[in-house]
Amino acid sequence: MMTGDKIALRARTEADVPTLHTELYEDVLGRSRGDSRPWRPIPAQHSPFAPGKPDDDDGAAVFSAVELATGELAGEAILWGIDPHNRTGHIGLALRPSFRGRGLGTDIVRTLCEYGFAVRGLQRLGIETLADNEAMRGAALRAGFTQEGQLRRSAWVHGSFLDEVIFGRLAEEWHAGRS
Strand (E) or helix (H) holding 149 = strand 146-157
Q: Output the pLDDT for position 52.
A: 80
Q: Which one-letter amino acid corresponds to residue 68?
A: L
Mean pLDDT to the nearest integer, 42-62: 84
Mean pLDDT computed over 140-158 = 97
pTM: 0.95
H-only helix segments in the chain: 17-20, 28-34, 104-114, 134-142, 171-178
pLDDT tens across 84-135, in order? 999 999 999 999 999 999 999 999 999 999 999 999 999 999 999 999 999 9
Q: Is 33's pLDDT higher than 70?
A: yes
Map out the domains of the chain with their CATH numbers. Answer: 2-178 (3.40.630.30)
